[in-house]
Amino acid sequence: MAIGTLELQLTWNRLLAIVEEQAQTLMRTAFSTVVREAGDLSAGVFDVQGRMLAQAVTGTPGHVNAMAASVGKFLHLHPVDSLQPGDVLLTNDPWDGTGHLNDFTVVTPVFRRERCVALFASTSHIADVGGRGFGPDANDLFEEGLRIPISFLFRQGRRDETLVRLIAANVRDPVVAEGDLYSLTASNDSGAAQLVELMDDFSLDSLDQVAGWVLDTSRQAMLDEIRSLPAGEYRNAMRIDGYDRPVDLVCAVRVSDSGIDIDFDGTSGASNAGINVPLAYTQAYASFGARCVVGNDIPNNAGSLEVVRVTAPAGSLLNAQPPRAVSARHAVGQMLPDVILGALASILPDKVPAEGASCIWNPVFLSAPAEAGVNADAASFVINPIFNGGTGARPTKDGLSTTAFPSGVRTTPTEINEATAPLIIWRKEYRRDSAGTGQHRGGLGQVIEVAHAAGAPFVVSKMFDRVDHPARGSRGGGDGAPGGVYLKEGGEAFKGKGRDVVPAGGTLVMETPGGAGIGSPARRDGELIRADLEADLISRDAARADYGMDDST
């Protein structure tokens, strides 16, 4: 039965509410701290063709946009007419999911009157998948952990016991891994129940009309936005730390009446370490970068995503082929919005921010191996907290301090980190003078000091960037401060990426990068400088050297 425009709009609003409740269910039931506390997840509803209709606001662009492409791969292997009520599919394959083994994507078909009418999908980061553990040091995918192709977790309501035992036997914390799979399943079930209720309320036999209206409207709205821009090709390049040597991210953004085409030809080749990025994750963050300033108020779905097309040469860093190591793909992928925004700055100067820290700082802390001298009776642990640097200055405002952009994940609370591992965070505060100077300064990074509560050694696996190549200022603004990681007791600084042992009695110090500034520092409002001084965000020396303030001010 066809429905009118008012009913279509009401249905759309209900879909948004349903997928947000789906995401909240995932957070409330998740076992992994990074999901429960930081929101490292995605949730969405799809039509029977595998097209994403609506996504939850809660979640990360990398998960959401990669998941949008993932569901079609599930249906290619298991068509809708082959699925049954009670079926639940999953994978953590980086090339079929969201880019690395730690992300599990679960897809659940929705049945009404014995007919499949939609699918719900969700993704969350599971703390451990075996192998070397979450980090950049593997030489190939086989070292990084357990790879599960698209498989049935439940078939007609019956759990695949062999699959569950296989997963439990290959991870360091099987209780958390199994619990997170149930959490993903529960979130999809929540969405499915509410969708059936919605269809009953509106007497809908299918979502075909709703899907067509949502996707066509979103697609056309994006095309209208794009066609208001000057057509042409706009280029940008950015050098970042890489693993053992710098890498270059190079893009051409072509604006035309048919959409936006982003090409990463000229980007560095694939790495021998785990910083490579599967194409789906590249597409996720590159399209998000464009959407930040073009059509950012248009719903993010298959229709609006369709007109932002992203390519990268096969075998390059941004289109890594299996079995390349990809565990730390976010350390490169989360830099891509800055590259895209830099390319668009020439035509949208009043919308584009300066570069920021971009890549989240998400160390993995785990118990030290026996050879490090740890007491064999000490309890083992593994946690993956989130810390953030500063964002770049905005065209008319300062950047945001210790804020995750573009990922959007939150910092995990100190209390949670200390409750889930035998670690003490002795210091966690804004990093003074870390913001890039300018008429509008960048956001500040932070300083974190971590030690073992019992003085034992522990391991840190690092996936940090902006240590050697800080965020670059715009239009006369200053660069953000580079990050740093070292032992408080002295000694050589650690590299930004890789696995190190913090020795017994040692305290690890992490200094997250600052965001860059926009505009000449000479044009900064004196009241803002004095406010930063009073809040101890900048030092008196920096106020004099960078902003020309005298001691009497």
Average pLDDT over residues 2-24: 95
Q: Which of 197, 218, 239 is the last residue of a domain?
A: 218
Q: How confident is the model over 10-32, as a mean pLDDT?
A: 97
Average pLDDT, integer, range 475-503: 95
The answer to the question of residue 543 being in a domain is: yes
Supply 182's token pair: 């149930």
**Quick one: pLDDT at residue 3?**
87
Residues 6+ apart with CB under 8 A from 193: none
Per-residue model confidence (pLDDT) at position 376? 44
Residue 553 has pLDDT above 70, yes or no: no
The C-alpha atoms of residue 381 and residue 371 are separated, in whole angstroms, by 16
Residue 452 predicted with pLDDT over 90: yes
Half-sphere exposure of 326 (CA within 13 A, CB side): 31
pLDDT value at residue 375: 52
The reply to whether 206 falls in a domain is yes
Question: The domain containing residue 358 runs over which residues?
Answer: 353-553
Of 162, 188, 218, the residue that ends a domain is 218
| Residue 149 within any structural domain of the chain | yes
β partners of residue 121: 44, 107
- Give the tens place of pLDDT for each residue, 35-79: 999 999 999 999 999 999 999 999 999 999 999 999 999 999 999
Written as one string, the DSSP assignment of 333-350 is HTTHHHHHHHHHTTT-TT
Q: Give me the CATH number covering residue 16.
A: 3.30.450
Residue 386 half-sphere exposure toward CB, CA atoms < 13 A: 27
Residue 378: the pLDDT is 57
For residue 541, give Cα distances in angstroms to 15, 173, 446, 450, 520.
Answer: 54, 49, 19, 28, 18
**How many structural domains are present in the chain?**
2
At residue 377, the pLDDT reads 47
Is residue 289 domain-resident?
no
Q: Is the pLDDT of residue 432 over 80?
A: yes
Query: Which of 198, 218, 238 represents a domain boundary (last residue)?
Result: 218
**Over 70: is that where the pLDDT of 234 sits?**
yes
Domain annotation covers residue 315:
no
Residues 284-305: tens digit of each pLDDT: 999 999 999 999 999 999 999 9
Q: What is the mean pLDDT of residues 248-275?
A: 98
pLDDT of residue 372 exceeding 60, the answer is: no
Q: Taking the model in full, what pTM does it have?
A: 0.96
Instruction: Name the pLDDT band for 270 (thresholds 50, 70, 90).
Output: very high
Structural domain contains residue 292: no
